[in-house]
Homo-oligomer: A and B are copies of this chain.
Amino acid sequence: MTIRFEVLSTDGAARRGRLQTPHGIVETPVFMPVGTQATVKGLTPDQLEEAGARIILGNTYHLALRPGDELIAEMGGLHRFMHWNGPILTDSGGFQIYSLAPTRQITDHAAVFRSHIDGTLLELTPERAVAIQENLGADIAMCLDECPPFQAPPDVLREAVRRSLHWAERCRAAHRRPDQALFAIVQGGPDLTLRSHCAAALAAMDFPGYALGGFSVGETPEQMVAVLGPAVALLPTHKPRYLMGVGRPQDLLAAVMRGVDMFDCVLPTRNGRNASAFTNSGSLRLRNACHKRDEAPLESDCPCYTCRNFSRAYLHHLFLAKEMLGPTLLSLHNVAFYCRLMADMRKAITEGRLADFAEVRLARWGGSL
Contact = CB atoms under 8 A, between A and B. Distances in A.
B327 A41 contact: no
A67 interface: yes
Nearest to A62: B321
A82 interface: yes
Given A292-B67, A324-B327, A328-B324, A309 B83 contact: yes
A201 interface: no
Contact of A314 (B38, B317, B327): B38
A325 B43 contact: yes
Contacts of A313: 67, 71, 75, 81
Nearest to A37: B321
Interface string A52-78: 000000000000001100010011100
Interface string A206-226: 000000000000000000000
A325 B81 contact: no
A42 interface: yes
A46 B305 contact: yes
Nearest to A308: B83
Contacts of A292: 67, 71
A152 B67 CA distance: 50
Q: Interface range on chain A: under 10, 10 to 19, 20 to 34, or 35 or more? A: 35 or more
A182 to B, nearest CB: 26
A333 to B, nearest CB: 12
A100 interface: no
Contacts of A305: 44, 46
A36 B163 CA distance: 56
B318 A39 contact: yes
A293 B43 contact: no
A349 interface: no
**5 tightest A-B CB contacts, nearest first:** A83-B309, A67-B317, A37-B321, A39-B325, A42-B324
Given A46-B305, A311-B75, A314-B82, A37 B328 contact: no
A34 to B, nearest CB: 13
A74 B293 contact: yes
A67 B315 CA distance: 11
Nearest to A329: B44
Given A38-B321, A44-B325, A81-B313, 5 more contacts: A39-B318, A42-B325, A67-B320, A71-B313, A81-B311
